[in-house]
């Protein structure tokens, strides 16, 4: 009803012959129409309605009063006062809505900042833990006599680790005992046990010899309580020599068992 009154007054003022009084009335009518449009826009702003409902009501009430006064000759000054008052309440409502939006954004930024801080601390802690674990692993593997290769940590037992009956020597057992303890404490890790022979004699004979070397080590670890699913047993009939097989010393070095430790996720490299 108030909106119709504003439009009616504007139309009435526009239809009259121009005079100084009518010019003022026209300007007042334009002001009321502009304020009416501004309030319509304000009422479509959910944040303004939520954060400043009283100011929205007061803006409409002031505009209604301005519209009523505009219809009476001599009341233009008072009508203009209420129109400006309506504008003021309109601006206050918008400011409160904007401040509330900024406050929510600030809260969101603070939460994100807190989450980022926690994430950074967790990342640093994870990095420190990873470095500590790597250092501990390096110390343990080096104590066993293992070497770090591109494929992972590698412990090599040469044929001298076996007696004449193919049994493990005490020195090899001590290394394997420490390795077994490490694997028991790190159940996610696996082990590849590869037996190697030299290239002297028939290929099948050498393969069986290499397999015997590997099985001897695997059986010993199984007896220590390791699950067979964590052990991968391979044998190579002299096709992966460490040195040339021309001398007895070279052939002895090539007859060996290599134990390759998986990564922390149990992954072993390709054969």
Sequence-ordered alpha helix ranges (H) in the chain: 2-15, 20-43, 46-51, 53-70, 76-144, 170-185, 203-223, 248-254
Strand partners of residue 156: 258
* DSSP bridge partners of 195: 235, 257
Residue 244: phi, psi to the nearest 5? -70, 150
pLDDT in tens, the chain (271 residues): 445 455 555 555 455 445 555 667 788 888 999 999 999 999 999 999 999 999 999 999 999 999 999 878 778 889 999 999 999 999 999 999 999 999 999 999 999 999 999 999 998 988 888 888 888 889 999 988 899 999 999 999 887 766 655 577 787 888 899 999 999 999 999 999 999 887 776 778 888 888 888 999 999 999 999 999 999 999 887 777 776 766 777 777 788 899 999 998 999 998 7
Domain ranges of the chain: 2-104, 145-261
Give the pLDDT score at 97.
93
The CATH homologous superfamily to which domain 145-261 belongs is OmpA-like domain (3.30.1330.60)
Report pLDDT for 193. 96
The pLDDT value given to residue 17:
45
Q: Give the predicted TM-score (pTM) of the model.
A: 0.55
């Amino acid at each position: 009803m108030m909106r119709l009154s504003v439009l009616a007054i504007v139309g009435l003022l526009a239809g009259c012959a121009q005079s100084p009084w009518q010019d003022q009335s026209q300007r007042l009518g334009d002001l009321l129409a502009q304020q009416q449009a501004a309030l319509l826009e304000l009422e479509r702003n959910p944040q303004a309605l939520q954060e400043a409902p009283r100011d929205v009501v007061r803006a409409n009430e002031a505009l209604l009063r301005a519209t009523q006064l505009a219809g009476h000759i001599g009341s233009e000054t008072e009508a203009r006062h209420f129109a400006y008052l309506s504008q003021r309440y309109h601006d206050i409502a918008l400011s409160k809505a904007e401040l509330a939006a900024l406050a929510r954004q600030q809260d969101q930024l603070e939460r994100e900042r807190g989450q980022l801080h926690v994430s950074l601390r967790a990342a640093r802690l994870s990095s420190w833990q990873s470095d500590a674990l790597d250092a501990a692993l390096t110390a343990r593997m080096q104590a066993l006599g293992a070497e770090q290769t591109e494929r992972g940590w590698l412990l090599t037992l040469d044929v001298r680790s076996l007696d004449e009956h193919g049994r493990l020597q005490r020195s090899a057992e001590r290394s394997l005992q420490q390795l077994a303890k490490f694997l028991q404490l790190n159940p996610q890790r696996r082990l590849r046990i590869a037996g190697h022979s030299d290239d002297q004699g028939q290929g099948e004979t050498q393969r069986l010899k290499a397999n015997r070397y590997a099985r001897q080590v695997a059986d010993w670890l199984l007896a220590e309580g390791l699950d067979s699913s964590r052990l991968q047993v391979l044998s190579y009939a002299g096709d992966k020599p460490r040195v040339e097989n021309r001398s007895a010393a070279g052939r002895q070095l090539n007859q060996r068992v290599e134990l390759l430790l998986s990564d922390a996720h149990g992954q072993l490299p390709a054969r």
